[in-house]
Amino acid sequence: MQKTLVTFAVAASLGLGATAAHAATLDDVKAKDYVQCGVTGGVAGFSAPDANNVWTGLEVDFCRAVASAIFNDAEKVRYTPLTSQERFAALSAGEIDILSRTTTWTMSRDTDLGISFVGTMYYDGQGFMVRAADGIASALDLSGAAICIESGTTTELNAADYFAANNLEFNTVVFVDQDEVVKAYEDGRCDVYTTDASALAAERSKFAVPADHIILPEIISKEPLGPVVRQGDDQWFKINRWVYFALLEAEELGVTSANVDEMLGSDNPAIKRLLGVEGDFGTPIGLTKDWAYQVIKLIGNYGESFERNVGTNTDIGLERGLNALWKDGGLQYSAPIR
Ligand SMILES: N[C@@H](CCC(=O)N[C@@H](CS)C(=O)NCC(=O)O)C(=O)O
């Protein structure tokens, strides 16, 4: 016991240990004047750069929302594209402040890797895409088919489970890079492309003739995709978690980027608290009391971000489904801001 205490005291005085090393992310972010956000190499609607290297997407919006809460400036974000395999090490090493990259919240990731999942930006599930001309109607018809998969993902494990459970012959072609996976599928080296259904929709929207490819009806897993931060910095974790909740709470209360200024005069106590008109919910997490006003003004609420990036009026064309608010039959639900 004595030895443990001494060791702890020495480590603490030297500023050692995982917690101490990364304990002040907000201070670091303020000092450098931007949030470093780990993203994909490009998944349309989630995180993708345009021709001018301007990043957009639902996951990009999350990083922009955090920057808005801190700086009142959504542009104060820099992006680090990461492969599936690189992403967690980049977060642990402090190369990024937030990982917001098609990342499924699983128990082993949450408990073994020194990271913490903030919430679920998109409730997804794994699906299969095939060429329409092949006449395949069900994932159960895929025994022995060549399946293109990205390594370092839950995708690999889920597919192995599904094929084993259904006594299907499992034949994969694995790549590190998503572009290689898609190219192999397009070139006919694989019969099937499997990943999160949202990403299948995103990729299909980019094909020359999207209708030549169909997404099979089976969804074989739960893929709650959400932002991740390093473990051991409670303040940073809570900033991220409450930015996520504020996006949802704003939608639930009908506060949008277009009406937020008008809503400052609302009589609704919940809106007053959200916008910092009544009470101060920012100072305890190192922000100003109008942190959520800034987020909504610059990014909009969750529903606005969803529709702008992946909704039915975009090429990706995703329905709200599980990602509707709880009051509309979905799973998105904010703890109360009070
Ligand atoms: N959600 C799964 C899969 C994540 C994943 O990496 N998906 C691919 C397929 S869309 C991706 O985002 N690739 C982008 C890239 O490698 O740049 C996981 O967390 O393991």
Final residue before a domain boundary, out of 162, 193, 221? 221
Query: Contact, 296 vs 246, CB < 8 A?
Result: yes
Indicate whether residue 43 lines ligand 1 (CB < 6 A): yes
Average pLDDT over residues 42-64: 97
Q: Please tell me whether residues 26 and 152 are part of one structural domain.
A: no
Ligand 1 atom closest to the CA of 106, numbered from 1: 19
Indicate whether residue 194 lines ligand 1 (CB < 6 A): no
Pocket test for ligand 1, best of 82, 88, 155, 222 (most atoms within 8 A of CB): 155
334 located within any domain: no
pLDDT band at 257 (very low <50, low <70, confident <90, very high): very high
Query: Contact, 235 vs 110, CB < 8 A?
Result: no
Instruction: Give 164-196 pLDDT, tens digit per residue.
Output: 999 999 999 999 999 999 999 999 999 999 999
Q: CA-based angle 195:196:198, to the nearest 5?
A: 125
Ligand 1 atom closest to the CA of 178, numbered from 1: 16
pTM, two decimals, is: 0.92
Average pLDDT over residues 182-211: 95
Average of per-residue pLDDT values in the chain: 93
Considering only CA atoms, which residue is closest to atom 7 of ligand 1?
Answer: 102
pLDDT of residue 17: 40
Alpha helices (runs of H) in the chain, residue ranges in sequence order: 2-13, 18-21, 25-32, 58-71, 87-92, 107-112, 154-165, 178-186, 197-206, 234-252, 260-263, 269-275, 291-299, 302-309
Q: Please tell me whether residues 233 and 164 are part of one structural domain.
A: no
Amino acid (one-letter) located at 222:
K
279 located within any domain: yes
Q: How far apart are the first and last CA of the chain?
A: 42
239 located within any domain: yes
pLDDT band at 264 (very low <50, low <70, confident <90, very high): very high
Instruction: Give 77-136 pLDDT, tens digit per residue.
Output: 999 999 999 999 999 999 999 999 999 999 999 999 999 999 999 999 999 999 999 999
Q: Please tell me whether residues 255 and 108 are part of one structural domain.
A: yes
pLDDT at 10 over 60: no
Share of the chain above pLDDT 70, in %: 93
Final residue before a domain boundary, out of 167, 197, 221? 221
Residue at token pair 């499997």:
194
CATH number at residue 36: 3.40.190.10
4 located within any domain: no
Ligand 1 atom closest to the CA of 200, numbered from 1: 10
pLDDT of residue 16: 41
Q: 101 lies in which domain range?
A: 9-123+225-328
Q: Please tell me whether residues 113 and 229 are part of one structural domain.
A: yes
Q: Please tell me whether residues 319 and 260 are part of one structural domain.
A: yes
pLDDT at 15 over 50: no
Amino acid (one-letter) located at 103:
T
pLDDT at 2 over 80: no
Considering only CA atoms, which residue is closest to atom 10 of ligand 1?
Answer: 199
84 alpha carbon to ligand 1 midpoint, in Å? Answer: 6
84 located within any domain: yes
